[in-house]
Chain A
Amino acid sequence: GNSVTQMEGPVTLSEEAFLTINCTYTATGYPSLFWYVQYPGEGLQLLLKATKADDKGSNKGFEATYRKETTSFHLEKGSVQVSDSAVYFCALSQSGGYNKLIFGAGTRLAVHP
C-alpha cells in the first residue's frame, strides 16, 4: 500500500543552521507530494507542494524537490529561525481518483537562539 516515511525527531538546531528533514514515499502511479506544518497550538497548514516529478515546491525559505527516481521529497531550509519550531508532516495524495492524504509520522523541530 501507499505510505510515507520521514525521519524521526526531535530535530534540535541552533538559529541559522541548515535544516534537512528526510521524507520518502511508496506509491503507485504519480502522487502529489506535500509538506504540512503544525505550529504549537495551531492547526495544520500547507507549507509547500509538488505535483509532478522534478517539481520544486518552495515557501518561506523552505524547499523540497519531487524526486521520482529516489521516491523522496526532502524538506530543506538554509537558515532556520526560532519561529520555525513546529512539527512538520510529509504527505502524499495518490493518483487515480483517491484524494485522501497519507501522512508521515511527523518530525518535531526545535530551534534554539
Chain B
Amino acid sequence: GAGVSQSPSNKVTEKGKDVELRCDPISGHTALYWYRQSLGQGLEFLIYFQGNSAPDKSGLPSDRFSAERTGGSVSTLTIQRTQQEDSAVYLCASSLLWGQQETQYFGPGTRLLVL
C-alpha cells in the first residue's frame, strides 16, 4: 500500500516568507508526527497529533511554527517569517495506533532551504 507522502519534496524560499509543508499519512493511521533533520541538530521532534489534536507542542522551535491536522488525515506544518536557521529536512511520520511500542513510518521529507 501507499506510504507516507510529503509535498513539496523541495522548497526554496526567501527569508521572511511563509511556507506550508504537507503530509499525507498512511491511510487509517491515527497518530501523526513531525520531525526535523538538520546538520547541526540531528533529528529532533517537533509535534505529534492524536487524531486531530496536538497534546504536545513543546518541540516547536518558536511561535513562528504551527501545525494542524484535519479529518484525522492530512497535516500541514506552517513556518511563518522563515529564517535561515529553519533550513532543514522536515520529516513526517505516522503510526497505526498511539503507544510507545508503535512503529512510526516516515515519509521522504521536504527539504527546505531559506535564502
Contacts and interface: CB of A to CB of B under 8 A. Distances in A.
Interface in B92-107: 93, 95, 98-107
Interface stretch (A9-17, A18-26, A39-47, A73-81): A39-47
A45 B44 CA distance: 16
Describe B's contact surface by its main secondary structure.
Answer: strand
B108 interface: yes
Contacts of B56: 98, 100
B109 interface: yes
Nearest to A91: B43
Interface in B47-78: 48, 56, 59
Given A32-B101, A46-B103, A95-B100, A100 B33 contact: yes
A100 to B, nearest CB: 4
Given A44-B91, A106-B42, A99 B99 contact: yes
17 contacts: A32-B101, A43-B107, A43-B108, A44-B106, A45-B106, A46-B105, A49-B101, A51-B101, A98-B56, A99-B48, A100-B56, A100-B59, A101-B33, A101-B35, A101-B104, A102-B45, A104-B42
